[in-house]
Amino acid sequence: MRLYNTATHNTSGFTTVTPGHVGMYVCGATVQSSPHIGHIRAAIAFDVVRRWLLRLGYTVTFVRNVTDIDDKIIKKASENGQTWWQRAYIYEREFTEAYNTLGVMPPTVEPRATGHINDMVELIQRLINRGHAYAITGANGNPTGNVYFSVPSWQDYGALTHQNGNSDGSNSDDKSSKADKYNPVDPADASPDKHDARDFALWKAPCDFDQKDARWNTPFGAGRPGWHIECSAMSHRYLGDAFDIHGGGLDLRFPHHENEMAQTLAAGWKSANVWMHSAWVTS
């Protein structure tokens, strides 16, 4: 079997970390609203890959996460008179019902982000200790709750999408996609306390629209996880330092998977052997 790898922009023969077994992590839903056809296409695409691997005789550990804490979830919950966890629960059920209706196999493990806060905190501390992340302190010397990954500290940033990690957003070679064009100041991570405009959030301090229970106490201050740290922590929890396939929709290549790859490698772990992305549904 040959697979197309986003990281190399080539197809190659498939070999596994552990003979006869495939570890597979697929980014699941951010449960802010009802599933649409794009979500379902991605689920079916990786269900087909999984079924084919089983057909070939592999055993497969298939991990598909649920992002149940997020800026959009909190904002939409507040707009609709809900708690963030009520909204997350409602739409997680909708996704599950849609998958079941279409016959998508249940994952081996379906971890929620909020169930793995300790894993994320440990990973963030590991990145700080290795010099690849920094926590912000206020004028009083106390932690503010903001922690960022230092992009300049990681020379291989941009490896997944074939871009230079410099501030001009240039391509490192002709394999970079226009859809991945580097935005040196990601609006989702815009903050005046970053050391470098390219740095991205690992842990976020409470903001004006946050609900009071959408925060956890940590050594870095109260707050909640950034988007990218969740998947690095959960894939490591269930698949270990190295695994075979990381999947997701095409929209996740950048910045989500680029940032995820950087922080995983910076932590001293290995990246997935193959990065796969399902295409968009277009008219």
Ranges of H-type helices in 71-116: 71-79, 84-101
Residue 168 DSSP label: T
Indicate the fold that domain 22-278 takes in CATH. Rossmann fold (3.40.50)
Taken as a whole, the chain contains a residue count of 283
Contacts with 270 (C-beta within 8 Å, 6 or more apart), sequence order: 241, 242, 264
List of long-range contacts for 9-18, beta carbons under 8 Å, 24+ apart:
9/162, 9/175, 14/244, 14/274, 15/273, 16/58, 16/244, 16/273, 17/242, 17/243, 17/244, 17/273
Pairing between β-strand 143-149 and β-strand 133-137 as defined by DSSP bridges: antiparallel
Closest residue by Cα to residue 84 from 30, 40, 145, 38: 30
10 Å Cβ neighbour count for 252? Answer: 19
Return the exposure string of 49-83: e unless at least 16 CB atoms fall within 10 Å of the residue's CB, then b. Answer: bbeebeeeebebbbbbbbbbbbbebbbbbbeeebe
Asked if residue 151 lies in contact with residue 131, where contact means CB atoms within 8 angstroms, the answer is: no
CB 274 within 8 A of CB 14: yes
Reading the chain (283 residues) residue by residue, the pLDDT tens digits are 999 999 999 999 999 999 999 999 999 999 999 999 999 999 999 999 999 999 999 999 999 999 999 999 999 999 999 999 999 999 999 999 999 999 999 999 999 999 999 999 999 999 999 999 999 999 999 999 999 999 999 999 999 998 876 655 445 444 445 554 545 455 566 677 899 989 999 999 988 778 888 999 999 999 999 999 999 999 999 999 999 999 999 999 999 999 999 999 999 999 999 999 999 888 6
Contact 53, 62 (CB under 8 A): no
Q: Partners of 126 in the beta sheet?
A: none
What pTM, to 2 d.p., does this model score?
0.92
Domain ranges of the chain: 22-278
- DSSP letter (8 states) at residue 271: P
- What's the CA gap between 27 and 20, in Å, rounded? 23
